[in-house]
Structure 1
Amino acid sequence: MKKSLLFIASLLFILTSCKESSADKTERSGEPDVYNVEDDDAKMNQAMIDAKNSIGDFKKAIASDNPNFEYFTIKQKFEADGGAEHIWVGDIQLIDNVLMGIIANEPVYTGEVQLGDTITVNNADISDWMYYDEGKVVGGFTIRAIRDALSPEEQAQFDAENGLIFK
């Protein structure tokens, strides 16, 4: 369990939290950067809708016990002063159709949860999901939305820094 949390944390250059109502990047020493996104960003909002609408695919994948699938994570929205913070939850388990996991990022804006807390995922607050299929990202809708907005040079840097390979 700790191994996957450390693996996920080491890859999460852009996968950390997003705070609604801002439009910049917060760099943190020793922690992954936090990309702040306006709450009216159409591409990000569509990415979150797409993730929510396809959560059944995620549940099927986790229930499949396919040995090629690993590092299941979900991004969930938590209330914060002046908006919301979207935080990755790792070590996801599906128990009786209920998703549970461990807070995988140090929250920046919310006091609702802390790094390492075990939570039951609130389906209404899911803003993204992802897992790896033979080392390639499946899902990651919000990550793709942010990556797609980068210049080709920034995308190359992003890819090199975080090691994510998209299907």
Structure 2
Amino acid sequence: MKRTLFTFGVIFLLVTSCNQNSKSKTIREGEPDVYNINSSDSKMNEAIKNAKKSFDLFQNALTSKNPDFEYFSIKQKFDTPQGGEHIWVQDIRFVNSQFVGIIGNEPVNTNEVSLGDTITIDKNKISDWMYFDKGITRGGFTIKVLRDQMTEEEQKSFDLESGLLFE
């Protein structure tokens, strides 16, 4: 359980804000870092497109009740005057044909939600999804884009700290 909470803490440092600025990282005292990505970033937009296109895989895994599948999360976009903030929602459940979860990190640019809020996912605003399958990360398209932009040393550190395993 302790490893899981730590892993999610690292995952949530990969919140992205789509705004007018070029790629940058905002470091927050006592909170995960936030990566600001320009809304025209082609690699990130492709990752979001792939996540949306493959969302049925997430839904099928969640509703399968397979004990090998765990720690389901969805990243949702929240509109802001700067463009949007993409926030991970954790502890996903499927209730009355809707996805419900808990805001997993402190928002930076939106007052629409707060850390710990329970929300119903807006399927039109999903920008990523992930879950673990016997410890292997499924989904996580936007995480992969950010990881691919890290130096080899940063990638090794991220892999070690997060415990995320991608195939």
TM-score normalised to structure 1 length: 0.91
Number of the residue aligned with 2:31: 31
| Unmatched 5+ stretches in structure 2 | none
2:161 is the alignment partner of 1:146: no
CA displacement at 1:37 relative to structure 2: 0.5
The structure-2 alpha-carbon separation of the partners of 1:74 and 1:45, relative to structure 1 and needing over 3 Å to count, comes to: same
CA displacement at 1:14 relative to structure 2: 3.7
Letter in 2 for 1:20: C
The structure-2 alpha-carbon separation of the partners of 1:13 and 1:96, relative to structure 1 and needing over 3 Å to count, comes to: closer
The structure-2 alpha-carbon separation of the partners of 1:112 and 1:3, relative to structure 1 and needing over 3 Å to count, comes to: farther
| Unmatched 5+ stretches in structure 1 | none
TM-score normalised to structure 2 length: 0.91
Instruction: Tell me, yes or no, if the aligned pair for 1:14 and 1:143 is still in contact at 8 Å.
Output: no
Instruction: Tell me, yes or no, if the aligned pair for 2:138 and 2:166 is still in contact at 8 Å.
Output: yes
Letter in 2 for 1:131: Y
CA displacement at 1:89 relative to structure 2: 0.3
Aligned residue pairs, count:
165
d(CA) in 2 for partners of 1:128 and 1:157? 23
CA displacement at 1:4 relative to structure 2: 9.9
d(CA) in 2 for partners of 1:68 and 1:104? 22
Instruction: Tell me, yes or no, if the aligned pair for 1:13 and 1:162 is still in contact at 8 Å.
Output: no
Letter in 2 for 1:34: V
d(CA) in 2 for partners of 1:77 and 1:133? 25
Q: Which moved more, 1:156-165 or 1:48-57?
A: 156-165
The structure-2 alpha-carbon separation of the partners of 1:8 and 1:158, relative to structure 1 and needing over 3 Å to count, comes to: closer
List aligned pairs for 1:40-119, cutoff 5 A: 40-119=40-119
> Among the aligned pairs, what percent are the same residue?
52
d(CA) in 2 for partners of 1:163 and 1:52? 25
d(CA) in 1 for partners of 2:28 and 2:8? 13
Q: Which moved more, 1:90-99 or 1:33-42?
A: 90-99
CA displacement at 1:93 relative to structure 2: 0.5
CA displacement at 1:13 relative to structure 2: 5.5
